[in-house]
Amino acid sequence: MMEKATVLVIGGGATGVGILRDLAMRGVDVMLLEMRDMVHGTSSRYHGLLHSGGRYAVKDADAGRECIEENTILRKIGRHCVEATEGYFVRLPEDDPAYEKEWVEACKKINLPAIQIDPAEAWHLEPNLTHRAQAVYRVPDAAIDGFRMAWQNIDSAKRYGGRVKTYTEVVKIHSVNGQVTTVTVRDYFTKQQYDIACEFIVNAAGPWAGQVAACANIPVHVQPDRGTLVAFNHRLTSRVINRLHKSSDGDIFVPHGSITILGTTSTTVNSPDDTQPLTSEVEYLLGIGELTIENLRGFRILRAFCGSRPLYTADPNATGRGVSRGFVILDHANDGLKGFASICGGKFTTYRLMAEHMADLVCKKLHNTTLCRTAIEPLVEDVAPEILAKARQYFPAYGVSLASSRLGEATLKNVIARMQADPTKRELACECENVTLAEIEEVAELPTSHTLSDIRRQTRMGMGTCQGAFCTFRGMGLVAQDDIIPQHDTVKEMKDFLQARYKGLSPILWGSTLREMELTRGIYESVFNLNGAMSDEKK
Amino acid sequence: MKKNDVLVIGGGFSGLLAAIAVAKKGKAVTLLRFGLGTFEIGGGLVDLMAYPNDNRPCRTPAEGIQQLSPEHPYTKLGLPLIKKAVEFFLNLTKEAGYEYEGSTTQALHWVPTAVGTMKPTGLYSKTFTGEILKNAKTIYLVDFKGLKDYYAKMTEQNLKKHWGEDKDYKIVTVDPHMEEAIGGRDIMTMDIARWIDTKEGLEECTKQLKAVIKPGAAIVLPQVLGTRPDYTPYTFLKTELQCDITETLCIPPSMSGMRLSKMLHDCARKYGVKIIEQAKATGSVIRDGRCEAVLVNGVGKEHTYYADHFILATGGFYGSGLYAPSAKKGTEPIFNLPVNLSAGEETWANLDLFSDKKQPFAQVGIAVDPEMRPIDKKGQCILKNVFVTGRNLSGYDFSFEKSGNGVALVSAYQAAASVLEVK
């Protein structure tokens, strides 16, 4: 029998999971389709900045206002994903003083509290900040973990009956008499195609939205815009640091736990899959970044990464930072196809609001009158203290709070049970990120885990200082040992995993990264001969 | 302070070999070390050459070496010298009672890894041989209860792919009785090797294996056959079980690498090499194209080490012998030697980590003349009494080619020969 869902949401980024949760909470039968793994696209390839709105205040007051409102909401409903760092806007001698005045006025207009402080006080609190700062303002910026926020949305949606299919690519959208009826999808691994019946389709594919709309022969002009970022292996500042000037490249630093992200660049590209960062981009970012943090080059870079902004414009000639960062909803009933709508543009900070507006439209069409509750209901409940106390018996001391916010209560309980039952599973597979064998095993058994990289995105295994030098072997060994993902080509899998790490390392191969690369290649190429094993495949 | 004949900087495979080679000829040698080299990574094997051009292996190391470009260190050193260096190393191991096997002219020697892949090498201890898997009808894969970083099922899966499904593969788990450690701390191959070092441990392990293993099979073990360069556990197990045995290569720390390290340290001590630990060389005194001394920073004071000859075996980027502050710059901190950074910014690294091409960044290093003395862009010798060896050299990709310890050995041997000849 054909699978069916009342509403299909296409795209497993922040917007898609937000819509999934919102609709599920309103009692709608909803299923999300993602062509690869959840959050593999733009929602995990950005600053991780929960905007205060300061960046958009002057140019785009509406976007700025949305930011400060959503910022306030997300701190409450997603407090396990948000690090309330606050932020500084810093004007340097090369920045236009006239812009500062304009900015202060604009912030007032959108009710964004920007409080001026003495630069000397800012240096006192942020020793790495340049003493060339002319003016400094405090704003309620924060750091947000995009992976965690998405997973918590999904977990919450699942509790309300929402469903998710990963590695499921939309091939064709079918209609009868101008009304959407079914979608043909393709399984990424088996390449098999099959149909899913539905009443309504939401296109939330971000920079891929144009491709999805094309499956229904509807033109949607989304311009992918490349943004490269650099992650430092240090917390350079306690707060988010923005340059106080007209928004430009490389002018934001966001601290996350023990790392800092600097970005971004902005380049129009043809394909949203064009995400290989380049050495020249990293050099360019460092050149700008060291105006704000002068000893920037003295810090180790962990990796570079690159995402694709989904810029939407009705004007096909507008590009880059000229395009609004607001969002639009396109009801394709206006194009003659009922039961199909696209949501374009926007940004991570406003994902919940975007989801609310889209869900409102869908519910109206479905004659569902339930109100949106995503602004008031927390994504996850706090993990009970007795469970945390139990976790402390088995977890490394400093790993408990990390793991509990990463996993949520239900999964954490399962991991504890595994550790209790089998002491060998208490071993750390990933020493950098404190991930135990039990946690990898638990996540590997989820139906959405198909590859080592899927396990990485949920556990953070391989995302720390050694970038997979040790845990690649361990993670793979464990998965093979317990036959969790059967019929695996472990050699290919390890190569793919290391290649994904290498993608962010190859543009920054100097200093400690070059040294670390000698070790990684020493293990996987020299000792394990994964490369030579590839030639066996060719024979 | 008394002047040395030779000062070796670096205590890895290359530095130790160079020090032993000159000390053996009666020279007064001091070796400065800061770190442990890569013994614990490389698994104690001496890779000579397996993939000279692409990812198709050559038949013998010598055949592969003859296909290399003129910039490759091996090409500069030449096959006759490479053979002599190999001879020198094999004699050392014989002398030490832990004889290695292999040569430049025999077919590549393939060794099983913990992943279950096969890796080609040149010179090896007897505990590593994939050869025994070829004709074995039954292959036992031995695991140890609680051992970290060993996943016998993955080893089995990939060995099966390589050697075929028609053999019988069996996983056997030995209990080393370390219950109290399980879940409390990591149990490493070193723990098991120490257990097997003891008479009781070896006998207990043998007893447990004897109970399940039938004679005439092949046995695949993690690197646990003792912590010392001593074949006693290997021979005992082999005789008692009447089976062929091989160890596998795994992620660090490598027990077999530590055996090789211990063997070379014993040897260096025997020939009177003075080893100074925790000595990080930071600069040098140069006069008229010659080095007079090397400076070492201690706690709050600087020490000066004088010598007639200097051997620089500081291990390239991994060993901190070289450092790249940016993508455009490479430095050598002790003698300030020029570092070859010919690759352009965007061609510095291949698009893929694993491919059929050597990595440009891996071939960055110091260019030398056939005597192993550093040269400038025009090919002129920069320092007449300084000799560069091992991973500091430019022109080769150790991990792609499988040539790491081979280049380290032969360049050390040449450096020693140069020291002994140059007046």
DSSP A275-297: ----HHHHHHHHHHHHHHSTTGG
Out of B56, B115, B324, closest to residue A511 by CB: B324
Distance linking the first and last C-alpha atoms of chain A: 42
Contact (Cβ atoms closer than 8 angstroms) between residue A54 and residue A387: no
pLDDT > 50? residue A538: no
Q: Which residues, including other chains, have CB under 8 Å from residue A1's CB and lie 6 or more apart? A: none
Residue B182: φ, ψ to 5°: -60, 125
Kindly report the average pLDDT of chain B as a whole number.
94
Decide if A280 and B345 are in contact by the 8 Å CB cutoff.
yes
User: Which pLDDT score is estimated for A539?
Assistant: 38
Confidence of residue A317 (pLDDT cuts 50, 70, 90): low
Element (H, E) at B284: strand B281-287
pLDDT > 80? residue B347: no
Decide if A481 and B316 are in contact by the 8 Å CB cutoff.
no
pLDDT per residue over A329-348, tens digit each? 999 999 999 999 999 998 99
Q: Does A297 touch chain B (CB under 8 A)?
A: yes
pLDDT per residue over B172-185, tens digit each? 999 999 988 887 78
Contacts 24+ apart (CB under 8 A), A162-165: A162/A20, A162/A21, A162/A23, A162/A24, A162/A30, A162/A31, A162/A32, A163/A5, A163/A30, A163/A31, A163/A32, A164/A12, A164/A20, A164/A31, A164/A32, A164/A34, A164/A38, A164/A448, A165/A31, A165/A32, A165/A33, A165/A34
Query: What domains does chain B contain, in order, with CATH numbers?
Result: 4-101+259-421 (3.50.50.60), 129-248 (3.40.50)
Q: Does B361 touch chain A (CB under 8 A)?
A: yes
Smallest CA–CA distance from B352 into chain A, residue? A499
Decide if B348 and A279 are in contact by the 8 Å CB cutoff.
yes
pLDDT per residue over A489-529, tens digit each? 899 999 999 999 999 999 999 999 999 999 999 999 999 99
Mean pLDDT value of segment A176-184: 97
User: Which pLDDT score is estimated for B43?
Assistant: 82
Mutate to test the interface with B, among A284, A285, A419, A518 (most CBs of B within 10 A): A518
Query: What domains does chain A contain, in order, with CATH numbers?
Result: 3-41+147-221+325-366 (3.50.50.60), 85-141+223-311 (3.30.9.10), 385-538 (no CATH)
Residue B412: φ, ψ to 5°: -65, -40
Contact (Cβ atoms closer than 8 angstroms) between residue B64 and residue B52: yes
Decide if A480 and B354 are in contact by the 8 Å CB cutoff.
no
User: Which pLDDT score is estimated for A172?
Assistant: 98
Q: Which two tokens stand for residue B33?
A: 């070390």
Q: Which residues in B lie closer than 8 A to residue A524 (C-beta atoms)?
A: 354
Query: ω before B253 within 30° of 0 (cis)?
Result: yes
Mean pLDDT value of segment B16-38: 95
Mutate to test the interface with B, among A528, A534, A536, A539 (most CBs of B within 10 A): A528
pLDDT per residue over A7-56, tens digit each? 999 999 999 999 999 999 999 999 999 999 988 899 889 999 999 999 99
Distances (CA, A) of B340 to A516, B10, B71, B326: 20, 21, 11, 14
User: Which pLDDT score is estimated for A408?
Assistant: 84
Return the sign of the alpha-carbon dihedral for residues A135, A139, A145, A146: negative
> What letter would DSSP give residue A348?
G
Query: ω before B282 within 30° of 0 (cis)?
Result: no
Confidence of residue A325 (pLDDT cuts 50, 70, 90): confident
Mutate to test the interface with A, among B144, B163, B353 (most CBs of A within 10 A): B353
Q: How far apart are CA A114 and CA B286, in angstroms?
A: 59
Decide if A427 and B186 are in contact by the 8 Å CB cutoff.
yes
Nearest chain B CA: its distance from A502 CA (Å):
6
Decide if A510 and B324 are in contact by the 8 Å CB cutoff.
yes
User: Which pLDDT score is estimated for B370?
Assistant: 95
Decide if A478 and B151 are in contact by the 8 Å CB cutoff.
yes
Residue A241: φ, ψ to 5°: -120, 120
Residue A334: φ, ψ to 5°: -70, -20
User: Which pLDDT score is estimated for B74?
Assistant: 98
Q: How far apart are CA A233 and CA A295, in angstroms?
A: 14
Q: Does B48 touch chain A (CB under 8 A)?
A: no
> What letter would DSSP give residue A262?
E
Q: Which residues in A lie closer than 8 A to residue B252 (C-beta atoms)?
A: 523
pLDDT per residue over A130-174, tens digit each? 999 999 999 999 999 988 899 999 999 999 999 999 999 999 999
Mean pLDDT value of segment B302-324: 95
Q: Which residues in A lie closer than 8 A to residue B113 (C-beta atoms)?
A: 527-529
Mean pLDDT value of segment B379-391: 97
Q: How far apart are CA A366 and CA B396, in angstroms?
A: 66
Distances (CA, A) of B171 to A423, B168, B223, B232: 21, 10, 16, 24
Q: Say what percent of chain B tops pLDDT 90.
A: 89
Q: Which two tokens stand for residue B127?
A: 């505990």
Q: Does B116 touch chain A (CB under 8 A)?
A: yes
AA letter at A393 = Q
Q: Which residues in A lie closer than 8 A to residue B350 (C-beta atoms)?
A: 506
pLDDT > 90? residue B35: no
* SS3 label, residue A263: strand
Q: Does A528 touch chain B (CB under 8 A)?
A: yes
Out of B120, B327, B356, closest to residue A509 by CB: B327
Q: Which two tokens stand for residue A143?
A: 């750091």
Out of A481, A490, A531, closest to residue B400 by CB: A531
User: Which pLDDT score is estimated for A316?
Assistant: 61
Mean pLDDT value of segment A379-399: 87
* Residue A317 burial class via C-beta count within 10 angstroms: exposed 0-12, middle 13-18, buried 19 and up: exposed
Q: How far apart are CA A205 and CA A244, in angstroms?
A: 32
Q: Say what percent of chain B tops pLDDT 70.
A: 97
pLDDT > 50? residue A537: no
User: Which pLDDT score is estimated for A22?
Assistant: 98
Which position has the token pair 């299923």? A31
Q: Does A122 touch chain B (CB under 8 A)?
A: no
pLDDT > 90? residue B328: no
List all residues of chain A from 467 to 506 with a beta carbon under 8 Å from chain B.
Answer: 470, 473-474, 476-478, 480-481, 483, 488, 490-491, 494-495, 498-499, 502, 506
Residue B185: φ, ψ to 5°: -150, 165
Smallest CA–CA distance from A522 into chain B, residue? B399
Decide if B55 and A474 are in contact by the 8 Å CB cutoff.
no
User: Which pLDDT score is estimated for A321?
Assistant: 67
* SS3 label, residue A93: coil
Q: Which residues in B lie closer than 8 A to residue A491 (C-beta atoms)?
A: 115, 117, 158
Q: Say what percent of chain A tops pLDDT 70.
A: 96
Q: How far apart are CA A86 and CA A239, in angstroms?
A: 6
Q: Does B349 touch chain A (CB under 8 A)?
A: yes
Smallest CA–CA distance from B249 into chain A, residue? A527
pLDDT > 70? residue B422: no
Could you tell me which residues are beta bridge partners of residue B142?
B172
Closest CA to B351 of A274, A506, A501: A506
Closest CA to B19 of B304, B289, B307: B307
pLDDT per residue over B144-167, tens digit each? 999 999 999 999 999 999 999 999
> Hey, how many other C-beta atoms are within 10 angstroms of the C-beta on B211?
8
Closest CA to A513 of B254, B34, B361, B39: B361
User: Which pLDDT score is estimated for A198?
Assistant: 98
Q: How many CB pairs under 8 A join A and B?
A: 177
> β-strands A87-91, A240-243: how paired?
parallel
Q: How far apart are CA A363 and CA A279, in angstroms?
A: 47
* Residue B271 burial class via C-beta count within 10 angstroms: exposed 0-12, middle 13-18, buried 19 and up: middle
Q: How far is CA B324 from the centre of its chain?
A: 23
> What letter would DSSP give residue B305?
E
Q: How far apart are CA B56 and CA B48, in angstroms?
A: 15
Integer-rounded Cα Rg, in Å, for chain A is 23
Q: Does B318 touch chain A (CB under 8 A)?
A: yes
